[in-house]
Amino acid sequence: MTAAGVILTRMSGQLRVAVVGAGAAGLCAARHILSRQNNFLPPVVYELSGGVGGTWVYEERVGCHDNGLPIHSSMYRNLRTNLPKEVMMFPDFPFDPQLPSFLPHQEVKRYLERYSQHYHITPHIRFQTVVEEVKPVAMETGEGKVTWEVTSSGGQGGPRTETFDAVFVCNGHYSVPYLPSIPGLEHFKGTLLHSHAYRVPEPFAGQSVVVLGAGASGLDISIELAGVNAQVTLSHGRPPLQVPLPPQVMLLCTGYSFNYPFLPRAALGLQVQPHLVAPLYLHLVPPAWPSLFIVGVCKTICPFPHFHTQVQFALAVLEGAVALPSRADMEAEIQRETDRKLSEGVELRHLLKMEWAQWEYYRTLSRLGGFPPPPPVTQSLYEEVWRQRQRHPQNYRQLNYQLISDTQMSGQLRVAVVGAGAAGLCAARHILSRQNNFLPPVVYELSGGVGGTWVYEERVGCHDNGLPIHSSMYRNLRTNLPKEVMMFPDFPFDLQLPSFLPHQEVKRYLERYSQHYRITPYIRFKTVVEEVKPVAMETGEGKVTWEVTSSGGQGGPRTETFDAVFVCNGHYSDPYLPVFPAHLSVFSLQAVITHQ
């Protein structure tokens, strides 16, 4: 900051601000404007669609709405967040703590709706309204000050032009597909589409699909397509493989282009390319127009904390709490930063990619603006999830996290339990009682019910499905220990029962135990555990996770990753057959083992 810098001053009145877009960034801007009633009038928020949420609004259709406006959402049906809710959230407005860390898109939309309601933003939104133009108008003060004319159409009242002191551009950048130049693509005879138009995997079942682009959406969609038996080839920017590709479908997961059709780019001196918006001081404000803020252009970030930080800095500028450098100094700083990145080998299309640099960026804006940065635990958790995503791209979303403080987090462990007899039920019960540290367990059970060795089966040999009958229970068995000794210490048998019980009562006891502690929903019945094997984690600390491969049950064969495994399959199902002396070979009677 310099004495010659730009300090925005205002008259004694409150500033009037326009916000373009009612997605996460626009709602954040409106929320913070509404919290500063001494300095700002309520904002006018322009929203193209009929509701809040922006890119988080799922629309089954593609193309255009009934009113002819384009469908901007690129959301697909099965999308789940690739960041946990503990990182995604606005720092002062948490998600429902009962939700898992990695959320389906519907929960993010609900979160934004709650945010809008909680901060009373909705009455200030003009839905189904198109912003046609945002242009600066010089004020006749001789000081180079401007106001902004915003022309809109649709909504209530028809076309109108209104004047504002500042504009927040929050229309996002996930709606206009980026279509790269691919030599020979014009000769492709199959189906060509961009991920913007992808919704569900079923139409591609059994087809040969090339997915071009191995970013977040490319990886997710590839896994989805493989799940419906599509033959998927994932193409990425690494050294090419020279192999024939006979695809029926080419799916472009090549990202999106920046698009601001309402901004007069030439008049504003803005350069807008598919992957670049420039010049923007601190990735936010054009040096020539310090009351115009283009929020959220950076990539590979924690979006909601990013918006939260940028918006507060922008409002500090408007309030005069932050003095921007002179236009020349801002432009020089932008050029130095650009030159530095290019000299380090950063490609032009990646100049706005932040990733690890975002944390210092937030600290800088917060220090200048005089407000707290996102808590340090946000960075720690972001980095932990990045590591898990590299190691387990298919399974990292099964993890759950808890924020203990601004600096501490806790990851919940995922545990597999093999067997739903007494030992397995006991393991599951105690895991479920420690929700701060453990995710709900997955309990694998070979049979169709709980109880293990206490399940009586008249038949011997195999079930109808070919699986062996494991129970060694005989019809008249009674316990040789009293129920007062046999019971789990904190879950007694029915007091009316005798001390020595028929086996049926023990089975009923275990069924009650499972119901009482709500274990049954976590049991996968008629499921065979094929293999449990350790997998070394790339931490250099000798840590392992466990891959459990199972078959049967619902969904067919699958392999899942766990932090720990409890083996509770018992030892009363495989008969021990001794070796008899040779002279007993003359024994002519039938031999029957007690298992039968």
When pLDDT is averaged across residues 144-154 and rounded to a whole number, the result is 92
Q: Based on the fold, state whether residues 103 and 228 are members of the same structural domain.
A: no
Do residue 512 and residue 540 come from a single domain? yes
Return all residues near 473 (Cβ < 8 A) that are at least 6 apart: 453, 454, 455, 456, 457, 503
Q: How many CB atoms are closer than 10 A to CB 142?
A: 7
pLDDT at 4 over 50: no
| In a domain? residue 142 | yes
- In which band, very low, low, confident or very high, does the pLDDT at 414 lie, cut at 50, 70 and 90? confident
Please check whether residues 170 and 318 belong to one and the same domain.
yes
DSSP classification of residue 85: H
- In this structure, are residues 249 and 209 in contact, taking their beta carbons and an 8 Å threshold? yes
When pLDDT is cut at 50, 70 and 90, the band that residue 413 belongs to is confident
3-state secondary structure 263-332: CCHHHHCCEEECCEEECCECCCECCCCCCEEECCCCECCCHHHHHHHHHHHHHHHHHCCCCECCHHHHHH
Lowest mean pLDDT of 116-120, 124-128, 404-408, 441-445, name the range: 404-408
Q: How many residues does the chain have?
A: 596
- Co-location of 425 and 496 in the same domain: yes
Dihedrals φ, ψ of 226, to 5°?
Answer: -60, -30
For residues 328 and 16, the answer to whether their CB atoms sit within 8 Å is no
**Does the structure show a pLDDT above 60 at 142?**
no
Domain count for the chain:
3
Q: Is pLDDT above 60 for 547?
A: yes
Q: Is residue 398 part of a domain?
A: no
Of 8-12, 65-69, 361-365, 376-380, the range with the lowest mean pLDDT is 8-12
Per-residue pLDDT, 162:
97
Domain boundary among 378, 406, 431: 378
CATH number for 217: 3.50.50.60
Q: What's the pLDDT at 65?
A: 76
Beta pairing partners, 402: 410
Residue 111 and residue 213 share a domain: no
Peptide bond between residue 375 and the one before it cis (omega within 30 degrees of 0): no
pLDDT bucket at 11, cuts 50 / 70 / 90: very low
How many other C-beta atoms are found inside a 10 Å radius of the C-beta of residue 509? 23
Per-residue pLDDT band at 539 (split at 50, 70, 90): very low
Say whether pLDDT at 304 is over 90: yes
Q: Is residue 312 part of a domain?
A: yes
Q: Return d(Cα 164, Cα 18) in angstroms, integer.
A: 6
- Across the range 387-404, mean pLDDT stands at 84
Same domain, 454 and 549: yes
* pLDDT score recorded for residue 436: 75
**Quick one: average pLDDT of 300-314?**
98
Query: Tokens 């921007």 identify what position?
Result: 324
What tokens does 384 get?
Answer: 């932990």
In which element (H, E) is residue 26 found?
helix 24-34
Find, among 352, 402, 406, the residue nearest to 374 by Cα: 406
- Host H or E run for residue 192: strand 191-194
141 part of a folded domain: yes
State the CB neighbour count (10 A cutoff) for residue 127.
Answer: 17
Structure tokens at 220: 């997710």
What is the three-class DSSP state of 116? helix
Above 90 in pLDDT, residue 575? no
Quick one: 226 and 197 in the same domain? yes
Examine residue 558 and state whether it is found in any structural domain, yes or no: yes
Average pLDDT, the chain: 88
207 compared with 541, residue with greater pLDDT? 207
In a domain, 472, yes or no: yes
Report d(CA 96, CA 548) in Å as an integer.
31
In-domain check, residue 5: no
Residue with tokens 């912003």: 131
> Which residues are CB-contacts of 152 (< 8 A; sequence separation ≥ 6)?
46, 126, 129, 130, 131, 132, 159, 160, 161, 162
CA gap 368, 324 in Å, rounded: 10
Q: Is the same domain home to 71 and 165?
A: yes
Residue 220 has pLDDT above 70, yes or no: yes
Beta strands 527-536 and 276-278 are: unpaired
More confident residue, 370 or 543: 370
In this structure, the answer to whether residues 147 and 189 fall within a common structural domain is no
Q: Listing from the earlier edge strand, what are the strands of the sheet with 564-567?
A: 523-524, 442-444, 415-418, 564-567
| CA proximity to 401, closest of 89, 77, 122 | 89
- In this predicted structure, the answer to whether residue 375 has a pLDDT above a threshold of 50 is yes
Q: Amino acid identity, residue 215?
A: G
Of the given ranges (48-62, 285-299, 379-393, 541-555), which has the lowest mean pLDDT?
A: 541-555
Report pLDDT for 243: 57
pLDDT of residue 63: 86
C-beta separation of 478 from 503 below 8 A: yes
Q: Is the dihedral of CA 582, 584, 589, 595 positive or negative?
A: negative
Residue 69's pLDDT is 77
Q: Between the CA of residue 544 and those of 179, 393, 540, what are the distances in Å?
A: 42, 16, 10
Residue-number span of the structural domain to which 288 is assigned: 17-175+259-378
- CB–CB of 181/31 below 8 Å? no
Does residue 297 register a pLDDT over 70?
yes
Q: Show which of 252, 275, 305 is a domain's final residue.
A: 252
254: its two tokens: 């090549």
For 150-177, write each residue's pLDDT tens digit.
Answer: 999 986 667 899 999 999 999 999 999 9
Residue 555: predicted pLDDT: 55
Rounded to whole angstroms, the Cα distance separating 75 from 220 reads 12
Q: Is 19 helix (H, G, I), strand (E, B) or coil?
A: strand
Q: Are residues 162 and 206 in the same domain?
A: no
For residues 475 and 555, which has the higher predicted lDDT (pLDDT)? 475
Examine the pLDDT at 244 and tell me if it is beyond 70: no
Q: Is residue 213 part of a domain?
A: yes
* pLDDT for residue 214: 86
How confident is the model at residue 245, as a pLDDT? 62
Q: Which of 319-333, 388-402, 532-546 is predicted with the least confidence, judged by mean pLDDT?
A: 532-546
Q: Are residues 161 and 195 in the same domain?
A: no
The percent of residues above 70 in pLDDT, for the chain, comes to: 89
Whether the model pTM is above 0.75: no
Please report the DSSP string for 346-384 in residue order. Answer: --GGGTTB-GGGHHHHHHHHHHHHTSPPSPHHHHHHHHH
Q: Based on the domain organization, do 491 and 555 belong to the same domain? A: yes
pLDDT digits over 105-137, tens only? 999 999 999 999 999 999 999 999 999 999 999
Distance CA 572, CA 593 (A): 12
15-26 burial code (b ≥16 CB/10 A, e <16): bbbbbbbbbbbb
Close Cβ partners of 266 (under 8 Å, ≥ 6 residues apart): none
